[in-house]
Amino acid sequence: MNKAFFLAPMAELSHRALRELIFSFGGVDEYFTEMINAPSLLSGGPLERYYIDAEPCPEKIVFQLVGADAEKLASAASILDKLACKGIDINMGCSAPAITKYGAGVKWMFHPEKARRMAGLVRKSTNKRLSVKMRLGPEEKFEYLLPFCKGLIEEGVELITLHPRTAKEKFKGRARWNYVADLKKELSVPVAGNGDVSSLEELVSRADGPWDAVMVGRLAVKCPWIFAAARQSMGSQSVTDVPSAVNVINSVNLEETAFRYLELLEKYQPVEFHKSRAHRFFQYYCGNMFWGNYLMNLLGREKEIPTMRKILKEYFNEHPDEREHKI
């Protein structure tokens, strides 16, 4: 069956520049944005507009909200509700201490009644599709996870994405996709799975699973063409793309793609974000190169895009055979 492909929400990564790059290859049905801090959105700082930029495909954008306060999340959802988008997602999966110490992200999963009330409040403030991205919860217990999800669905949540690791596992061990299959069997709403898709073959094989959608994070940064390549190898179009939106690709030019990303970063992100967004991107993208660690370290010392360009140019001049990456 033709499963939907989602780009995962990733802080400092799932912004317009990366989306534009992935979009140029095609194959994605929904692009989740990096988490948008609800109190910051409400306070209306000058950089917030970059977080709520829904281009280049507002109809496929899912804005993800993060926060610890139900009322603020609901008010932030009512702001997003006025923008063109596919839906609004609530972050109940982030396990970074900077987020959980305030009671946000996966901390909601420790308090099912509070989480349920919050989802109900957010539901009242938007008519957009409401979804939640979560982990297994505090422990690996399906008998805890299932009623947690059912409670949210009773409040009007319409899609659940499961990254099947516990709160404390962060990225340790393996994502246990059997829980995604188990949830799919029990829930009345679509279920997406996420976690550890690390190759083209794995994406194609996950696309054959019993769930409704496959969400990919880190691999999509390393290989922005991965969704298009998977569609191509499956001989299918994405669920929502028009046929011409997936370009036929047999190989990509790694140098050109890196340059294109930097160009998009300059065009669509404020200068305050260039360094962090470039470093984050190259942390994954350099995994394509034989001397990737070395290159990543060099780039990691640079603060400005022009000097990053210079380093990339020198690298590919020294290793010209690394330009062409076969798919």
Ligand X SMILES: Cc1cc2nc3c(=O)[nH]c(=O)nc-3n(C[C@H](O)[C@H](O)[C@H](O)COP(=O)(O)O)c2cc1C
Q: Are strands 191-194 and 159-162 parallel, antiparallel or unpaired?
A: parallel
195 or 224: whose CB is closer to ligand X?
195
Residues of 115-126 as b/e, b for ≥16 C-beta within 10 angstroms?
Answer: bbebbbbbbebb
Instruction: Give me 58's structure tokens.
Output: 């507002």
6-45 binders of ligand X (CB under 6 A): 8-11, 13, 34-35
Out of 85, 94, 223, 286, the active site residue is 94
What is the rounded CA–CA span in Å between residue 67 and residue 70?
Answer: 8
Give the residue with the Cβ less far from ligand X, 72 or 316. Answer: 72
Site for ligand X, residues 97 to 136, rule: CB under 6 A: 133
DSSP secondary structure code for residue 188 in this structure: S
Residue pair 12/277 in contact by the 8 Å Cβ criterion: yes
129 phi/psi in degrees, rounded to 5: -60, 130
Q: Is 243 helix (H, G, I), strand (E, B) or coil?
A: helix
Question: Among candidates 170, 169, 93, which has minimal Cα distance to 132?
Answer: 93
Query: Is residue 94 annotated as part of the catalytic site, yes or no?
Result: yes
Query: Shortest distance, CB of residue 184 to ligand X, whole angstroms?
Result: 18
Amino acid found at 52: I
Contact stretch for ligand X (CB under 6 A) within 38-46, 152-160, 191-199, 291-299: 191-199
Binding mask 74-93 toward ligand X (x if CB under 6 A, else -) reads -----------------x-x
Nearest residue relative to ligand X (C-beta): 217
Binding mask 215-234 for ligand X (x = CB under 6 A): -xxxx---------------
Report the interface residues with ligand X, using CB under 6 A: 8-11, 13, 34-35, 64, 91, 93-94, 133, 163, 194-197, 216-219
Give the residue numbers annotated as catalytic, written as ranges.
Answer: 94
